[in-house]
Structure 1
Amino acid sequence: MKVPTASDDKYSRGVLGIVTGSTDYPGAAVIGVEAALRTGVGMVRYLGPEVPTSLALARRPEIVTRPGRVQAWLLGSGIAAGARDADTANRLTTAIAQELPTALDAGALGLLGSATGPTVITPHHGELARMLGIDRSEIAQDPAAWAARAAADLGVTVLLKGFRTHIADPYGSRLLVTSATSWTATAGTGDALGGILGSLLATHSAEIAASRGALAPLAATASVLHSLAAERASGGGPFTVLDLAAELPGVVARLLAAPRA
């Protein structure tokens, strides 16, 4: 985790651009924005349709809803690939062409071929199966192997979501994060993971520029933060995704205070 210093400002701490949510799924925008801000990014620029923009501003009035400089992008959560309007399509293609660290989720996964910057894809089993043209059952039989194969074939870092999240990159990194609670299987938690990951990409953009091998550890860190926040929110029982997001600052503080070996 990158800790701000006395000389940092909101720009040097990292600015994350987010193009997520839609009229059909506006909540994805709210959840991703919330999780990103609570993970420690300096600013969020949210660019989306009117309804999710209004909801995100109502929840988090500190976000900026005009285009401008960013250090990383989170794209696609809550967007149906086959139902993108012209404005959303333009926002996505403009963002993905900027050669910045980018997390592609849900409705933006199909744009992978246009990605120009260091990229992490965050599919679940079904989405990865569609990307590779195979049956979902094949992914389920050996998710670690398929995450590694996808990373090699597609040339990107893969975060394959599930109770056991598998991370692989084209350079040989193979990481596993097991969820701390099965209560994480609830609507919106993937959108929160996207926000956490986007925040880390923005705050560590310099490290990523120096080495694309930094993406896999950051993706694993995002998954760990997500899992620990879910565990704290759950307390052994059900929780909502905004409960998870609310626990993120405490998780970050606890990890930063932990003694290092």
Structure 2
Amino acid sequence: MSGTGVETTFEPRPATAAWTAEEARSVLRLPTASDDKYSRGVLGLRTGSTRYRGAAVLGVEAAWRTGLGMVRYVGPERAQDLILARRPETVTAEGRVQAWLIGSGTDAADRSPDEDAALRSILAGDVPVVVDAGALDLAAEGSAPRVLTPHGREHDRLREMAGLVPIGADADDSERERAARETARALGATVLLKGATTVVATPGGWVRRVTTGTPWLATAGTGDVLAGVIGAIVAGATVRTPADVEHLGALAATGAWVHGRAATEAAARHGGAGGPITALDITAEIARTVAGLLAGDDAAPRR
């Protein structure tokens, strides 16, 4: 993905507004004859761990399937081996990137001093960073434009870190929207609050819902896939000015839209009300979902 057709300044919308296919399509574009692998976007991933190597594989696979020019993976050697066995086009050396994804498949309690320093260095830069899972304890740090991707319990921990009151597991979607907007403002970062209804909020008060998912998404590894999709979309955009930082909300919402629709498509292949899916089933549908979106095929999922 490279470039976007959506405006970089957004007015706050009603809390009930859902991110639409038309809006998601405006964030994506077809590559042109003048593109190269750098202009289409390069995503760097510092993800995975000895215990959770699969998370790195899922994030890399999702990023490639979303459509960008290059994926750079910097992580444990065993995870690199697994990634290269599945996606040999992945570059396992540091270099130029347009965005970072950090934290998926990691645990802050196990982070080494060297890894901690590397993550803080990424967050201290000006390249946008998708902050997931085991890196969320660093969410308030640095100067980089950030997209935070917590689930409910992680969001409550972020709120405590910011001096805010947790909202708990029983909060309805209106309360989740209010809280996500408050958290985004307090941390100076876009917050994508995962759930049956995903809520995306920016520091400037822009907030939208994403409702393309399916209950079958509640399975291991799907959050790693979501992070990879968002990272790929962010890598294709230029985020530098304060207005562009607000634009991260549109990019994150589009990532969640694509992820949810791909999951719904994967589940619908079982017929009826859908059936069980795995995280890799979702990655297998991402390219088709992106192609259909760009072609204007916004129909209900195929069965």
Q: Deviations over 1:174-228 (max 9, x none)?
A: 1001243110000000000000000011011258786212100111100100010
Residues 1:5 and 2:32 are matched in the alignment: yes
Unaligned runs of 5+ in 1: none
Alignment TM-score, normalising by the size of structure 2: 0.82
Aligned match for 2:57, one of 16, 27, 30:
30
Distance 1:208 1:227, change over 3 A: farther
Residues 1:245 and 2:283 are matched in the alignment: yes
Shift in Å, 1:11: 0.8
Aligned match for 1:53, one of 44, 64, 80:
80
> Which aligned pairs between 1:98-113 and structure 2 lie closer than 5 A?
98-113=125-140
Alignment TM-score, normalising by the size of structure 1: 0.94
Distance 1:189 1:208, change over 3 A: farther
Q: Deviations over 1:30-71 (max 9, x none)?
A: 000000000001101100011111111111111111110100
What is the CA–CA distance in structure 1 between the aligned matches of 2:235 and 2:194, rounded to whole Å?
Answer: 21
Higher mean C-alpha displacement, 208-217 vs 160-169 = 208-217
Aligned match for 1:203, one of 236, 255, 258:
236
Give the helix-richer structure, 1 or 2: 1
Aligned match for 1:65, one of 92, 109, 131:
92
Percentage of pairs with the same residue:
50
Distance 1:115 1:82, change over 3 A: same
Please, what is the CA RMSD of the aligned residues? 1.8
What is the CA–CA distance in structure 1 between the aligned matches of 2:36 and 2:243, rounded to whole Å?
Answer: 22
Task: Write the letter of the residue equivalent to 1:104.
Answer: V
Distance 1:210 1:12, change over 3 A: farther
What is the CA–CA distance in structure 1 between the aligned matches of 2:127 and 2:208, rounded to whole Å?
Answer: 23
Task: Write the letter of the residue equivalent to 2:219.
Answer: T
Task: Write the letter of the residue equivalent to 1:71.
Answer: Q
What is the CA–CA distance in structure 2 between the aligned matches of 1:169 and 1:86, rounded to whole Å?
Answer: 31
Q: Deviations over 1:112-163 (max 9, x none)?
A: 2323121110001100101112445267342111101101111111000011
What is the CA–CA distance in structure 1 between the aligned matches of 2:275 and 2:199, rounded to whole Å?
Answer: 25
Shift in Å, 1:247: 0.5
Unaligned runs of 5+ in 2: 1-27, 269-273, 299-303
What is the CA–CA distance in structure 2 between the aligned matches of 1:80 and 1:173, rounded to whole Å?
Answer: 30
Cα pair 1:16 1:198 within 8 Å, conserved:
yes
